[in-house]
Chain A
Amino acid sequence: MAVVETKALRKEFGATAAVDGIDLVTGEGEYLVLLGPSGCGKTTLLRLIAGLEHPSDGDIIIGGQVVTHLPPRARQIAMVFQSYALYPHKTVFANIAFPLAAAGVPREQRPEKVRWAAGLLGIDRLLDRKPRQLSGGERQRVALARALVREPQVFLLDEPLSNLDAKLRSSARDELKEFQQRVGITTIYVTHDQVEAMGLGDRIAVLNEGRIQQIGTPDEVYHQPANTFVATFVGSPPMNLLTRDDRLLGFRPEEFLPASVMGERSGQAIFDFSVTRVENLGSDRYVYGHLPEVDPEAKVIAKLPSTVTTPVTVGDQLPFAVNGGDLRSYDRQTGVRIASGGAAVKP
């Protein structure tokens, strides 16, 4: 259980910087998610922390020890790859025991530790099988058991759920979170799926172009996005952004409801919403349209829960309202959040 810290970490591949100056500090026992689109540098960052890549600049500190130039085996970390990287020529038992053998743990002590780790993940009965005989979910558990058995300071997980069937993913996600809370080891988790990130993370670091765009709790990242990238990347459907004067106004689709439903409130902004399409998805209705008075080109989405029964049809022009507190301002050039007073908001 330790803190992972990076200082001004930078990794260049040729002319491009995959990781462009990242300062990061994890909390003890924290589940930190690195979230971002492909190519944003999150996997590179994870590999740098693991020691599988050498930084061009900056430092990495794990558990108080500067590990920047140490190989992976000296960092007391454990990693689970997207493919799980189980050794195909070894049994499940041998897979899990592998790190123990590498650490020089005497042969007699290994079975006990392996069984402990396997027990924690519920795979005791699989110990004699080979990886090709296991299902996707079972393979993930073997990979986790192997990661656990050395009792590392940090878990590094690289999109371990993307190889699973969609149906399996949410139960696997559940198990993962529960597992991590039980063992309490600091975990850094990479994903491009923001639903996963929101569900798993104690904190989320949103990355793009090699830099941290924002780091905070899921609630902070969702409700107080620090710039337009975070605002549109997190949340589905993405935040509405309108150009007004010299700034961008943002509000989330679920914060945009018919004025009659919202009720009167001071500071509310009311817009005429011209409806072009309505999607009824059962639990929600997505209403697509635009606001001709404010920004006729911007496409706006409103998300009405099924409890809102106001009839909405294509061609309507209805007043929709957003609470003042939900209106966020962003600088038109930089995309950075501006406080209502005018100053930029720090991420």
Chain B
Amino acid sequence: MNRLLIVDDEENIRILYSAELKDEGYEVEAVSCISQALEKLAEKSFELVVLDIKLRNENGIELLQKIVKERHDMPVILCSAFSSYKDDFSAWLADSYVVKSGDLSELKQEIKRVLEKKAHRKATGF
């Protein structure tokens, strides 16, 4: 079972995403800040991270940079309230970018696509 890490400062979002993604068959863990996320990543292995950009006083992009630098094979999907995140071009480093919505279909599809891509890369080396 693929284990996902959700990083979002909104508790209700964490609850919603956890419930919906568990229904999809994923094992889900959710945290609210960067330090908790780093702890979780050090503690367990995850297949993918769903990351919000604006985390109260923190910037999710910083976590994205750390993950890309230290864990090349860890895909990250940015899930943000911003329809077009232009303030930081670093967002372009993520594997995917999904705008938050009550309809989680797009997020679910992207998770599936990115995981399949990761699996393919693992299998073929490309």
Q: A and B: partners?
A: no
State the A residues within 8 Å of B (CB). Answer: none
